[in-house]
Structure 1
């Protein structure tokens, strides 16, 4: 099945927000200050979409199955964040498809020579995926809860 990464649209906001099933899940995924439940009409502002482009992964039927953002942090470095796959699609390789497409998009639209991301240390599935995609942990820039990972783009 073909998948397409496209800029997130207002029609996707409620779908993505619906994947967040608790205040704890919302805080973990979106960070402090993002409300639960996340109203569709507050989605763009809460996630700072004007300055942190959001991307939706669509399946062959046009259903939104994943979401991620990227933003430039310093010259040459772009951060990937708020990466999420629909709960119904987890375990089917959607994270890999989403990450490959999101990384390519970030490199294409920024001056990135390095991509970074943060992952919770207690998320072994995501950790394994990111390592497999070439991201390397940076312990000195990490916290006990979150691991900073980076990958060169070339």
Structure 2
């Protein structure tokens, strides 16, 4: 059974190791222990992990919680590299969206994704995200999801 829970400092070594994976690192900006510690300490962010049968399978970071405008950013989402292609990313995305809408009262969730990251884009589009605009200079696409 899958569930989502708040991340703890004890989770961070595993999460940072996943970010160091070659197929993950290519798509991320700033990473590392300090980045995660900052996200955990920031009341404007919700750092959560997904568990399946007691094993952590992925994590997500929601940001913009205190904006008051009902718009939350899905700032980061990473699945254990050894579990990719088995539906864990889709389950994590659905859980992160549910947390944004139900726990934080979002009316819209947005994210940015590298234009070349076709696998992530396909997942987001299949779950109802649509392209809002592209940032050509940064090779980024901004996508939004509404409940």
In the superposition, the TM-score normalised over structure 2's length comes to: 0.85
SS where residue 57 of structure 1 aligns? strand
2:58 alignment partner, one of 66, 90, 102: 66
Backbone CA RMSD of aligned residues: 2.3
**Structure 2 residues not aligned, in runs of 5+:** none
Task: Specify whether residues 17 and 5 from structure 1 end up closer, same or farther in structure 2 by C-alpha distance, changes over 3 A only.
Answer: same
Structure with a larger share of its residues in strand: 2
**How far did residue 143 of structure 1 move?**
1.1
Counterpart in the other structure of 2:100 = 106
SS where residue 97 of structure 2 aligns? helix
Write the deviation string for residues 54-81 of structure 1: whole angstroms up to 9, x where unpaired. Answer: 0101111x22110101122560211111
**How far, CA to CA, are the matches of 1:44 and 1:58 in structure 2?**
20
**How far did residue 109 of structure 1 move?**
2.3
Task: Specify whether residues 129 and 28 from structure 1 end up closer, same or farther in structure 2 by C-alpha distance, changes over 3 A only.
Answer: closer
**Structure 1 residues not aligned, in runs of 5+:** none
1:120 alignment partner, one of 111, 114, 117: 114
Aligned length: 142
**How far, CA to CA, are the matches of 1:118 and 1:7 in structure 2?**
22
